[in-house]
Amino acid sequence: MRTDVQRLLPRWVQAAVIAVLLVFVMTPVLYMLFASVNDDLEVARGAFWPTSLHLDNYAKIWSTVELGAGLANSVVVAGSVALVSALVAVATAYVLVRFQFLGRGLILRGLLALQSIPGTLMLLPVFVLFANLSAVLGMQVIGTRWALFVTYLTFALPFSTWVMVTYLRGLPAELDEAARLDGASSWRILRSIIIPLSWPGLVVASIFAFLLGWNDVLFASVMTNPDSRTVAVALQVFGATQEGGAIPIYGQLMASALICALPVVVLYLVFQRFLVGGLTAGGVK
Amino acid sequence: MAIETVAPPAARDSNPGPPPRRRNRNRPLWMLAPGGILLVLVILVPLGVALTVSLLDLDQYTLREWTGAPFIAFDNYVEAVTDTALPHAIWVSVGYSALVTVATLPVGLAAALATQQRFKGRALVRSAFLIPYVLPAFVVGTVWRTILMPAGPANSVLGEQHLWLNGPNSYWTLVVVQLWTSWPLLYLLAASGLQSISEEVHEAAALDGAAWWAKLRYVIFPHLRGVLALALIIAFLHNLNSFTLPYVLFGVPAPHDVEVLPVLTYVESFQNFRFGLSAAMAVLSLVLVAIPLSVYLRAVRLNQHEN
């Protein structure tokens, strides 16, 4: 009884809830896994269980879709967004947490509000501004990875900064105040005290920024050309062209979907503990 | 929103002096510049452009010189409300978002309650629960699209031919798939709320000898009310703004029953090239989002010590 004080549900209810939810969650995931190693025609016929093992789906996809180029574009863009946004976020958060100034509360609220701006509202004006920038610079902007990088970087900032704000609040201010008394400049404090101490927060901020870039379809669908296409758009186009095609290759489609999901799932599994904390911090605190 | 982009560089102060925290000098406001400039240039300026464009008769012919497009004041808004699918799209978006949000509550809460106590394999179950949330929306859309295609496994299990991605069923498809992918957020937030309930509360309830549902009803749920209310607003906002899932799941132009606001706005711009009209729709969707958002911002505490 004593160890059972925290029990909230009777054992059978608990078991039933977990079983039902596991089936609900895992059925589509297992389908993706099974179909990815199944014969294309079997999948098109609606089979759930693979009748024969077709690991060659994973070899064929690279020539069927521009998956390799898409992955490279996504890794480069999302990776650099992750790195840069965490650094910009920690600098902004440091000032917001440690100093009082006019407009501070407004910025903090703004960071939360900006996370909820509909992407569809921003797409057209960002597109128009980049088009005008092309005219000014005399070079192509839309269709380059740079355009995506700048866009994702900015849209990642409100959340990344908020994550860092919550993280830095947990760091004792005495450390950097002592350094300040020793005459260290703010830049020095940020570089040699704040950043080394806040790497778990930086990891969370980076990963969410990475996911924003990796998962986006909205901006990438109008701001890329076939050369700079991210893997998200490559998969979406692949899926959309299956219908009405002569020979639908759904097995390969599921294999590609799995490849697209893999980096994200691996990142999540490796950093799970940090991420769950970061998510709830970003969401509610 | 005033982000200090033109903050003066911090004066170098060689004598240490008292802690500068509450002093006016030595605040490195210039460190706000990189983030501030980006946010202004890529979010605030485009917001202004969106508002301007919504007042112009802008289409693919006038796009190149967009500032010279004819000014038509609020005609785009009038047209959006009276002569497009916008009211229908708002109805669909709000309706399905609310349905999904309400449905995630019991699912997420049950999951949090069931995994609160330690048991063998709990870590594995928790990881599995988060998979739908972690998978990119474009992958979720692609997989469910394949499951629900006319000759797909859903119909072959049922042994009947249903249309899931078109017609009236598509609405429920959207509800179920969005529920599938979004309930773990509520689960996470509920679980973190449960963890903050102290041991004493559990013990007090156990001493009373309360039945499990009575304990939930009178002890646990009241403690979670605040967390859950916020979680519901976040989930609702998230559903309302969701573009990728309906876009990948149903394609464009969307079937009438799942013509959600973000997809409608997108199609109006990048398929019909009615940029002005689309901007007006986008501004109206911002107004719609602002309602739950303002509730959220009011409820959130900005400072730890602010109570």
ipTM score for this prediction: 0.92
User: A200: domain range?
Assistant: 60-284
Domain assignment present for A9: no
Residues B72-110: tens digit of each pLDDT: 889 999 999 999 999 999 999 999 999 999 999 999 999
pTM: 0.89
pLDDT of residue B4: 30
Residues A89-121: tens digit of each pLDDT: 999 999 999 998 999 989 998 998 888 888 999
B98 and B11 assigned to the same domain: no
**Is residue B304's pLDDT more than 50?**
no
Domain assignment present for B61: no
Domain assignment present for A99: yes
B84 and B32 assigned to the same domain: no
Domain assignment present for B307: no
B131 and B234 assigned to the same domain: yes
Domain assignment present for B126: yes
Q: Which two tokens stand for residue A239?
A: 């899926």
B21 and B85 assigned to the same domain: no
In this prediction, residue B25 has a pLDDT band, given cuts at 50, 70 and 90, of low
Which residues partner with B59 through β-bridges?
B274
Q: Which helix (H) or strand (E) holds B189?
A: helix B169-195
Domain assignment present for B258: yes
Q: Give the closest residue to B151 by CA, choosing from A248, A34, A50.
A: A248
CATH number, domain with residue A269: 1.10.3720.10
Which string of b and e fits A93-109 if b means at least 16 CB within 10 Å? bbbbbbbeeeebeebbe
Q: Does B38 touch chain A (CB under 8 A)?
A: yes
User: B166: domain range?
Assistant: 79-299
User: Residues 162-201, chain A: which have Cβ within 8 Å of B?
Assistant: 169, 173, 177, 180-183, 185-187, 190
Q: Report the pLDDT averaged over residues A12-33.
A: 96
Domain assignment present for B69: no
Specify the DSSP class assigned to residue B56: B
B236 and B93 assigned to the same domain: yes
Domain assignment present for A20: no
Q: Are B91 and B264 in contact (CB under 8 A)?
A: no
Domain assignment present for B280: yes
pLDDT of residue B253: 86
In this prediction, residue B3 has a pLDDT band, given cuts at 50, 70 and 90, of very low
**Is residue B243's pLDDT more than 90?**
yes
Gap from A53 CA to chain B (nearest CA, Å): 18
B230·A284 Cβ contact <8 A: yes
CATH number, domain with residue B85: 1.10.3720.10
pLDDT of residue B186: 93
**Total domains present in chain A:** 1
B36 and B91 assigned to the same domain: no
A284·B227 Cβ contact <8 A: yes
In this prediction, residue A283 has a pLDDT band, given cuts at 50, 70 and 90, of very low
pLDDT of residue B14: 37
**Is residue A285's pLDDT more than 50?**
no
pLDDT of residue A5: 67
Domain assignment present for A6: no
B134 and B170 assigned to the same domain: yes
pLDDT of residue B38: 93
Domain assignment present for A163: yes
B198 and B123 assigned to the same domain: yes
Gap from B120 CA to chain A (nearest CA, Å): 12
Specify the range with the lowest mean pLDDT, choosing from A6-15, B64-73, B104-113: B64-73
Specify the DSSP class assigned to residue B116: S
Which of chain A's residues have a Cβ under 8 Å away from the Cβ of B192?
Answer: 280, 284
pLDDT of residue A64: 85
